[in-house]
Every structure is written in C-alpha cells, then in structure tokens.
Amino acid sequence: MLLCYFHPHSLSGFLKVKKQVKKQSKESNLNLVILELHFDGYNGDCLLVYVPTNEKVFLTGIGTHSELFK
C-alpha cells in the first residue's frame, strides 16, 4: 500500500519493457501496467518506474525525468 504522499501515474508505450517483464515472469495472462511514482509530490523530478504483477514488482528505472525519458 502506498502512502497518500506518493502519486503513481500510468505510462503508455514501453513495449520493450513489457516484453522483458513478460519473458521473466512465470505468470500467464499478464495485463501489464507500467507506473511512475513521484517521490516528491505530484510532479516532482524524482521518479521510480515499475511494473507490478501478482507475483512480483519489477523495478525498471529510477532517476529524474531527463535521465529516464531521453
């Protein structure tokens, strides 16, 4: 459960990341949602990008917007 201070947002695209997660996961019928989580409020520049599944949470990136979305 995330504290109210954190505000996850879904991201579109990232087909390469989705393929990698599906390959690594043992789950069938995955409906993947890639999320970014702002550590410093609604629109701060410290981000965690992750993919939650029923079994695991895959961390795909951590850093600033400029580092992650070149």
Q: What is the mean pLDDT of each run of 10 residues along the chain (70 residues)?
A: 68 84 83 78 73 86 82
Helix or strand run (H / E) with residue 68: helix 65-68
How many CA atoms, within 13 angstroms, populate the side-chain half-sphere of residue 63? 8
Number of domains composing the chain = 1
* Residue 31 domain-assigned (yes or no): yes
For residue 54, what pLDDT is reported? Answer: 84
Q: Report the residue count for the chain.
A: 70
For residue 37, what pLDDT is reported? Answer: 79
pTM comes to 0.69
Q: How many CB atoms lie within 10 A of CB 25?
A: 16
* Residue 41 domain-assigned (yes or no): yes
* Residue 6 domain-assigned (yes or no): no
Domain range for 55 is 19-68
* Residue 25 domain-assigned (yes or no): yes
For residue 32, what pLDDT is reported? Answer: 82
* Residue 3 domain-assigned (yes or no): no
For residue 2, what pLDDT is reported? Answer: 56
